[in-house]
Amino acid sequence: NPNSYFTKLYHAHNPSSDVVLVALENIQEGRNLRARTHLYVYNLSELRFRDFTHCLAGRGSILHKCMIYEPYIFIKDYFFLSIYNYKTTRLIDIKPAVSSPIVFNSNVVYVTGGKFMQFNVSTGKTNQLSTFNAHPSFTVACDRFITQYRSSGQDFEVLEVSSREMRYEFSIQPNNSYWLSTRMAKTNAMCTKKIIIEFDLEANKRKVYIINFW
């Protein structure tokens, strides 16, 4: 279709030569103009498209998030998260989801039914990650901790979701807002400490925070 054009490119989250290409197609039907969003997987080493394709009715804005983690592709629209094995083109799972998928501890986490769900990329199975209530806005601190905003928008909590479960609650203050930062944040090998380096534009200085998880 001459009215089609590529709009986005998504790289894989694990070492892979596969990428996702997003294309928008405009279709004129009389006086009406319809739009479709197409997803293709392209292999940069072999310089060819894989067999997998996916089509969404509407413009690219309906695609909230697309993520590739070989051999899976995660497609988040307004209401659902669809998981495909793009090498076999097989639909693995489709669930209602209120959050975009995020890589956590080498797996993929998302929120559905008010809970954190974890898709294991090694087994292709989904399980509940923790018993905590989950909010759509969350970030990963490291492979044991998730930070999420609470309903007020001024409070947040840090959740430990490893072999034990702990919750730490905070109100946003200047001296703890670094919890919500992912800029230049590194965690030590034992996941007991996190160092965050932020640049203070007004003071022209760098601030270094070291957080003890326990």
Check residue 17 and report its DSSP letter.
S
| pTM for the predicted model, two decimal places | 0.78
Beta strands in the chain (DSSP E): 4-11, 18-29, 32-43, 48-57, 65-69, 72-76, 80-85, 90-96, 102-104, 107-112, 115-120, 125-133, 138-140, 145-149, 155-161, 165-171, 185-187, 193-200, 205-212
pLDDT confidence tier of residue 207, bands split at 50, 70 and 90:
low
Name the more confident of 84 and 177. Answer: 84
Q: For position 178, what pLDDT does the model report?
A: 59
Mean pLDDT highest for which of 73-77, 140-144, 149-153? 73-77
Angle at 61 between CA 152 and CA 39, to 5 degrees: 125
> How confident is the model over 148-165, as pLDDT tens digits?
877 666 788 888 887 778
State the sign of the Cα–Cα–Cα–Cα dihedral 80, 84, 90, 95: negative
Model confidence over 5-22: pLDDT tens digits? 888 899 998 889 999 999
What does the alpha-carbon distance between residue 60 and residue 35 come to, in Å, rounded to a whole number? 9
- How many Å apart are CA 103 and CA 108, to the nearest integer? 4
**What is the per-residue pLDDT across 16-49, written as a single tens digit (0 to 9) for each?**
999 999 998 888 777 777 888 899 999 999 999 9
Distance CA 123, CA 112 (A): 20
pLDDT of 66 above 80: yes
Q: Report yes or no: 62 and 71 within 8 Å, Cβ to Cβ.
A: no
